[in-house]
């Protein structure tokens, strides 16, 4: 469905986080703060707080598909962002819906496998299906542990990040944003590669335990800015700035990995 508004529409296909720090909740906050319109298809309900995940209830694949089709047939979407997909059946269902409706917007895949707390969010037999979804993506946004699983390569340096990013690019994704937060050091570097070239953004590491939902937020920020018509490089700069500011603005909630301060971030939008 054609978008006659200046507000980019993002359909988020991901899991719910009861603590509000990551997943669907972080996605909605990010899209909203960046001036987009967020719609959702919930893939799973997690029972979690800043200390970890204590339960996961997966949605039936048919329910996930119905949510996607209902949104796309009425409101439409300029971008689809996927997060926690949990199992192979849901991943295959998401891909089938995207193919069936001939979705022509950007597909941003955040290959969620493990929560910030260390809890597993993707079943082991779903990795191959996830690789198939990534091959259809406009952009895939793995962190270092996820990239290591997806490529079978150990990553211990910026050069390793670059090599892994290009390896993922070779699998079919149009662009790869490899997040460097797991790399030790005083600086954090995120690496973006596409068929048009490469870009690195580095910033001083923020000494904080309040980083719950950073991956979800970055991918959703990318999807929102792409949906608004920004170039890949413009979206990268804007998304990085938003997440960096949200980490700095974290409210300090929780005893573990606390949430970001999405609502406190005001970036200039043109």
Catalytic residues: 179, 211, 213-216
CB distance 219 to 236 below 8 Å? no
Residue 40's closest CA among 70, 13, 9? 13
Torsion of CA 246, 228, 9, 11, to 10 degrees: -60
Residue 253: CB atoms within 10 A of its CB come to 16
**Four-residue CA torsion sign, 134, 120, 219, 40:** positive
From residue 163, alpha-carbon distances to 109, 125, 153, 176, 185 in Å are 19, 25, 9, 11, 19
187-194, strands of its sheet edge to edge? 52-58, 37-49, 9-17, 79-82, 106-109, 139-140, 175-178, 187-194, 197-204
């Amino acid at each position: 469905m054609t978008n006659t508004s200046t507000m980019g529409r993002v359909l988020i296909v991901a899991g719910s986080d009861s603590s509000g720090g990551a997943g669907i909740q972080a996605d909605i906050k990010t899209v909203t703060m960046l001036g987009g319109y967020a719609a959702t298809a919930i893939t799973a309900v997690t029972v979690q707080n800043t200390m970890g995940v204590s339960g996961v209830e997966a949605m039936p694949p048919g329910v996930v598909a119905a949510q996607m089709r209902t949104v796309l047939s009425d409101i439409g979407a300029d971008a689809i962002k996927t997060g926690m997909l949990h199992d192979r059946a849901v991943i295959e269902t998401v891909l089938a819906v995207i193919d069936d409706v001939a979705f022509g917007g950007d597909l941003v895949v955040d290959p969620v496998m493990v929560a910030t707390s260390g809890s597993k969010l993707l079943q082991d037999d779903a990795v191959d299906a996830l690789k198939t979804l990534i091959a259809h993506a406009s952009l895939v946004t793995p962190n270092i542990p996820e990239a290591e699983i997806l490529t079978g390569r150990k990553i211990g340096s910026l050069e390793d990040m670059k090599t892994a990013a290009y390896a993922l690019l070779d699998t079919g994704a149009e662009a790869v944003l490899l997040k460097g937060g797991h790399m030790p050091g005083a600086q954090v570097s995120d690496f973006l590669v596409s068929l048009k070239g490469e870009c690195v953004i580095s910033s001083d590491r923020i000494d904080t335990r309040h980083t719950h939902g950073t991956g979800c937020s970055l991918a959703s920020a990318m999807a929102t800015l792409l949906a608004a018509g920004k170039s890949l490089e413009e979206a990268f700069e804007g998304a990085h700035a938003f997440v960096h500011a949200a980490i700095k603005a974290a409210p300090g909630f929780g005893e573990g990995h606390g949430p970001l301060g999405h609502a406190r971030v005001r970036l200039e939008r043109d």
